[in-house]
Amino acid sequence: MAILYFGEKENHLMRINLICLASLFLNACTNFDFQGQGKDVPTAGNVSIWADFADSLMLTQMKDVFESKYPKARLQFKFASETDILQAVNDGKCRICVLHRDFFPDEKQALENRNFKVRNVKFAKSSIAIVANKNSNLSVISENELKKYLLAEKTNDDTKLCFDRKGGNNYMYFYRRYKLKEYVRSSVVTRKSPYDVIDWVSMHNGYIGFVGVNAIADKTDTLAVYYQKKVKILQVKTDSTGIAYPFQSQIYTRQYPFVQDVYLHDLQGYAGLGSGFAAWICSQPGQILVKKSGLLPCFDAGRTIEIDTE
């Protein structure tokens, strides 16, 4: 009879997998100074990681699990807008960050010209959820209609837009996608966080808000469940893929149009805690948390099972 082994044997295999992933990640990062330049190593030390507010629930959970696995490691997350993160990188204040895009070629070249070692790993796909007031007549919005709102081409109704933070990831995504002429239109309201966006939309009918899916998609997180119930999540209609919600299955099938790759960028230039955390995010435990948080993992999080038939 076949016996399925879990527990210590599975944990041992997971540790081996993490070591292998770390080795692959570090070996791919040529030009690293493996002597180290800081007080941190891949599983110990103290580092700051800048990230967008959209991923705060997921990354906070990752921090708790990672630090419980590696008690000598301390991750300090600083949540900010995309433009603030990039400014911190440019100023040399940020050496590890999570962004919903890769660095553009000119950004990467500028960093390398200053002797930054630019390395990254894509570990998830996220989406931008569009939410409306519970009493709104809207349930579906077309991509073309949304584009007209953003370009201020549709002014025959009272619909207004609400984003989290000036220069935030969600606004900058549409700013680049539709080549918006204005940085923040006069009819756009900005709030401090995704939850402030949801609160605003829940109290102001006529607004549609934009939030990262992590803020509302984790069914096991009481905060995400609470905020999802406060608003109506809109379906988005496109000419090519039909109507879709911003959730994992529609991200996977490429039905939902507003999807972003999520990267961890490590600019430390040596094998430090940033590269260790990057390897862990790509391992089974990290990818399970990605999936649990409502994002789509980039790596298979299947379990390794040993079968003894004797």
Question: What token pair was written down for 104?
Answer: 């553009």
DSSP H or E run through 287 = helix 284-292
User: Please, what's the b/e burial string for 55-93 (b: 16 or more CB within 10 A of its CB; e: otherwise)?
Assistant: bbbbbebbbeebeeebeebbbebebbbbbbbbebbeeee
Residue 35 has pLDDT above 50, yes or no: no
How many Cα atoms within 13 Å fall on the side-chain side of residue 215?
Answer: 27
Residue 146: pLDDT band with limits 50, 70, 90: very high
Query: Mean pLDDT over residues 76-92, rounded?
Result: 95
Task: State pTM to two decimals.
Answer: 0.83
What residue segments make up the domains of the chain, in order of their start? Answer: 3-125+261-308, 126-259
CATH class of 126-259: alpha beta
Residue among 23, 17, 29 at smallest CA distance from 42: 23
What does the pLDDT average to over 284-304?
87
Q: CATH code for 3-125+261-308? A: 3.40.190.10
What pLDDT, on the 0 to 100 scale, is given for residue 153? 78
Average of per-residue pLDDT values in the chain? 85
Q: Which residue did the predictor score with more confidence, 32 or 264?
A: 264
Q: 297: part of which helix (H) or strand (E)?
A: strand 296-297
Do the first three CATH levels of 3-125+261-308 and 126-259 match, i.e. the same topology? Answer: yes
Element (H, E) at 236: strand 235-238
- pLDDT digits 0-9 by tens, 187-230: 789 999 999 999 999 999 999 999 999 999 998 999 999 999 99
Average pLDDT for 146-159: 80
Encode pLDDT of 96-106 as tens digits. 999 999 999 99
Residue 34 has pLDDT above 70, yes or no: no
Burial of 27 (0-12, 13-18, 19+ CB in 10 A): exposed
